Amino acid sequence: MKTQINIIYLGMLVLLLTSCYKDKTTDVSAEYGQVTIENIQEKYKVVAFADEINLKPEIKNAEGKELSYLWGKFMLVTADPDEYKLDTLGMEKNLDLKINFKPGTYKLVLIVKDLKTEIETINSSELVVESMSSRGWYVLKSQNGKSDLDIFNEHGKGENVYSENAGEKLDGEAVQIGFNDRANWFDPEKNELNRMIRVVYLLTDKDIARMRMSDAKVLDKFKDIFYGPYADPKPQAWTINGYGDFLVTNNKAHGVFIYGNSGKFGYEYRTEYDYSLAPHILPPNNPQNNPIVYDNLKGTFYGLHYFSTSYLTPFTDEGNDTTKTYYPHKNLNADNLFMDYKFGGYKDDGDGIALLKTRDAVKRLVIARLELYAAGYFGQNKNPVYALDTIPQGMEIENAKHYAVNKRLNLLYYSNANKLSAFNLSSQAEEVIHNFTTGEEITHIHHRVHDEPDAEEYSFDKLVVATYDGTNYKVYLFDMLAGKPKPNPIIYEGEGKVGHVYYISPALHRHKMHY
């Protein structure tokens, strides 16, 4: 049976090890006779309920000394104060540690005490405990009107992870995967509120499931995530910023302020008239900014404000930059086909790209460029549209089905059957950049970039393309050169048709998650 040591001394130890003080064996001069601890790594990364670590420290300057040993761990980030207590793991020099505790980031501590002098030497390591579902490429797929989740990572392939845990597949066709690192959930069995849970949202066109990443437990579904009445289930898009979650379902918007609530969405956003949102949300690159949506009825852009979850936030006609020309953001007489963003842009907050199709007889394609800064607290909800560029007629992009924005370059990707093309937003030239095997229809495109200077193992820059041959899918992860896919991509395969691909890692958080 494990012991939890909860005394003042160890409380101070926890404060010491979680502060800016960086300890690897306590560095007191050998002239005082203190032992040193070696052969312990600075960081261990393991899988919960699967791995075991065999720890065999080397104790230097131990000759003639009677020593005691104490191994323990505590969680670094948790909403449960009990998990900050030092949990005793062993009291022998060597430790065979079975990872039979939940995923998270822990401090692994070894305290060696000289029983004669009572001098203690402390060694601490970072212990990152992952689950099969805490890192990897999430693939939301559909087959015969039902959806499920596959996960690919260095541990292999987790197939049908959702149904294996829920006991059934999700109704509907796959739409989107979303991520929240600070979700709230009221546990009806324990009658208590759980905070700061890492979850994924799995959206189909008929349902939503919120799945806890630590154990893949399904917490709730569409009918359970609203405070009040909800429309017929028709989830279309989901996003997040630093303060709230936002959902478009049945062409209406709902929001939830993440602090001080049970994680349920409120009533639909309202306007002075009826509205019908396009099934897209333009996510914020900066967590202080708000998402942008588009009303197809009025041809008007709106913001989704986390403090005003009752009304869509209109933009004023003037823009933030007096040196620039701004264009109409309302009454555009066009439908919204696609929205996403690229890095950079005004105030380095991101540059929104919206692809519109006019409702007139000509049905021209128009690229709207938006300042994401405008929808934020500092942008004061001023006009975000700084360009409206009409695409020349007769181009292949007119018949495209799926789209993606290059996050770094001025390129818009799109698909026609098995052809992947790129449209240059500056020159308005288009080019076929990859032909997949005949019979492989492209079902999903996204350029995913994740920069983590402190966690290089979680960093990548990939063009993600999913194809479907009528029975099975392939997910291609391309490295790129000048925005074009390079040969020899990583390929993942499975059954069904892919609707969305997302990458999850322990380093992912709401302040840096739209990539």
pLDDT at 507 (0 to 100): 78
To which residue do tokens 């969680």 refer? 75
Name 300's bridge partners.
295
* Helix spans in 144-281 (H): 161-166
Q: 469 pLDDT exceeds 80?
A: yes
Pairwise CA distance, residues 133 & 179, whole Å:
12
Of 297 and 15, the structure prediction assigns the larger pLDDT to 297
pLDDT in tens, 406-447: 999 999 999 999 999 999 999 999 999 999 999 999 999 999
Q: 7 pLDDT exceeds 50?
A: no
Where is average pLDDT lowest: 5-19, 71-85, 126-140, 144-158? 5-19
Of 498 and 104, the structure prediction assigns the larger pLDDT to 498
In sign, the C-alpha dihedral spanning 196, 133, 509, 444 is: negative
Q: 260 pLDDT exceeds 70?
A: no
pLDDT in tens, 336-378: 999 999 988 888 888 999 999 999 999 999 999 999 999 887 7
Pairwise CA distance, residues 171 & 148, whole Å:
9
pLDDT in tens, 66-102: 999 999 998 876 656 666 678 999 999 999 999 888 7
Where is average pLDDT lowest: 130-139, 148-157, 334-343? 130-139
pLDDT at 155 (0 to 100): 77
Q: 456 pLDDT exceeds 60?
A: yes
Q: Specify burial of residue 335 (Cβ count, 10 A radius: 0-12, 13-18, 19+).
A: middle
Cβ(330)–Cβ(394) below 8 Å = no
Residue (of 2, 1, 126, 104) closest to 47 by Cα position: 104
Pairwise CA distance, residues 484 & 420, whole Å:
10
For the record, the structure tokens of 433 come out as 């950049």
Q: Count how many Cα atoms sit within 13 Å of the Cα of residue 410 in the half-sphere of its side chain.
A: 9
Pairwise CA distance, residues 341 & 348, whole Å:
12
The rounded Cα 280 to chain-centroid distance in angstroms is 17
At 10, the pLDDT band (50, 70, 90 cuts) reads: very low
SS3 223: helix
Pairwise CA distance, residues 340 & 122, whole Å:
49
Percent of the chain whose predicted confidence (pLDDT) is above 70? 88
Where is average pLDDT lowest: 366-380, 468-482, 498-512? 498-512
pLDDT at 347 (0 to 100): 82
In sign, the C-alpha dihedral spanning 255, 257, 258, 262 is: negative
In sign, the C-alpha dihedral spanning 246, 147, 479, 404 is: negative
The rounded Cα 437 to chain-centroid distance in angstroms is 31
What angle (nearest 5°) sits at the alpha carbon of residue 45, between those of residues 42 and 47?
A: 155
Residue (of 371, 355, 372) closest to 290 by Cα position: 372
Cβ(53)–Cβ(99) below 8 Å = yes
Percent of the chain whose predicted confidence (pLDDT) is above 90? 61
Cβ(148)–Cβ(165) below 8 Å = no
pLDDT at 5 (0 to 100): 40
Pairwise CA distance, residues 383 & 146, whole Å:
41
Q: 236 pLDDT exceeds 90?
A: yes
pLDDT at 80 (0 to 100): 63
pLDDT at 79 (0 to 100): 56
pLDDT at 303 (0 to 100): 93
273 CB-near residues (< 8 Å, 6+ apart): 298
Pairwise CA distance, residues 135 & 458, whole Å:
9
Pairwise CA distance, residues 248 & 362, whole Å:
29
To which residue do tokens 């149904």 refer? 163
Pairwise CA distance, residues 340 & 367, whole Å:
12
Question: What single-letter DSSP state applies at residue 161?
Answer: H
pLDDT at 317 (0 to 100): 95
pLDDT at 345 (0 to 100): 81
pLDDT in tens, 377-406: 777 899 999 999 999 999 999 999 999 999
When the pLDDT of each residue in the chain is averaged and rounded to a whole number, the result is 87
